[in-house]
Amino acid sequence: MDTRDEALKLYREFIPKILECGTEIDEFYRKFRELRLVEDDLSFQGALLRVEHSFFMVVQSLNILRENLKLLEVAVKKKEIE
């Protein structure tokens, strides 16, 4: 069964969603960062910093996913997927 066309269709459908999601995540990251910068309680600053780090990890994962999707698109176009 050749799934190249279906994979390309899913790729094209998902890429705009991943970019939109990344933008929203970045906005929330900035809000949490702003809270941390004005927070006086050091222990709560630490909790906010951990949240910031988690957002960073999510964005990194989305970047990896986006890159792998681009590689999939190239493979589909080159007909390298069996």
> Tens place of pLDDT for every residue, the chain, 82 residues?
888 889 989 999 999 999 899 899 999 999 999 999 999 999 999 999 999 999 999 999 999 999 999 999 898 888 755 5
Say which DSSP state 73 is in: H
- Do the beta carbons of residue 62 and residue 8 sit within 8 Å? no
Q: Are 56 and 29 in contact (CB under 8 A)?
A: yes
* Domain locations in the chain as residue ranges: 4-77
**How far apart (Å, rounded) are the C-alpha atoms in residues 25 and 32?**
11
Distance, in Å, from the CA atom of 22 to the CA atom of 67, rounded to the nearest integer, reads 14
Q: pTM for the whole thing?
A: 0.77
Cβ-contact 26, 59 below 8 angstroms = yes
